[in-house]
Amino acid sequence: MACEPSLPWEFFTPQCVNTRCEAVLLQNQAILEFEKPPQLGQPARLTFTFEFSEDKTDVDAEIFLPPGIELLEGELSWQGDLPQSTEKVLQLTLQVNETGHFRIEGTVDFATGFPLNVQDSVDLEVTPEQTFMETRPVNYWEQRIGYAVPANQDRVNTELLIEPKPALGEIFTIIYRSQALLEAAPQKMQLNLALPENAFEVISVQFSEGGDLNQNRMEFIWLGSPHTTEAVELKLTLKPISTGWGPVIANTFIDEAGITDTLMADIYVGKYAGGTSLREP
pLDDT in tens, 66-99: 888 999 999 999 999 888 888 899 999 999 998 8
DSSP letter for 151, please.
Answer: B
% residues pLDDT > 70 (the chain): 84
Least confident of 13-17, 131-135, 142-146: 13-17
Domains of the chain are 10-133 (2.60.40.10), 153-279 (2.60.40.680)
User: What span, in angstroms and rounded, lies between the C-alpha atoms of 55 and 271?
Assistant: 43
Contacts of 216 (CB under 8 A, 6+ apart): none
pLDDT at 214 exceeding the cut of 90: yes
pLDDT at 160 exceeding the cut of 90: yes
| Band of residue 121 on the pLDDT scale cut at 50, 70, 90 | confident
Contacts of 224 (CB under 8 A, 6+ apart): 188, 189, 208, 210, 211, 212, 232
pLDDT at 113 exceeding the cut of 60: no
Whole-number pLDDT of residue 112: 62
Whole-number pLDDT of residue 116: 64
CA distances from 174 to 228, 249, 265 (A): 23, 11, 10
Around Cβ 67, how many Cβ atoms within 10 Å?
Answer: 13
Among candidates 68, 261, 52, 34, which has minimal Cα distance to 156?
A: 261
∠ CA 232-256-212, rounded to 5°: 40
pLDDT in tens, 13-40: 333 333 332 333 345 688 999 999 999 9
More confident position, 9 or 187: 187
Helix (H, G, I), strand (E, B) or coil at 160: strand
User: What span, in angstroms and rounded, lies between the C-alpha atoms of 108 and 117?
Assistant: 5
pLDDT at 135 exceeding the cut of 50: yes
Supply the mean pLDDT for the chain: 82
Could you write out the DSSP letters of every residue in 138-195? ----B-----PPPB-GGGEEEEEEEES---TT--EEEEEEEEE-SSS--S-EEEEEE-
User: What span, in angstroms and rounded, lies between the C-alpha atoms of 172 and 240?
Assistant: 9
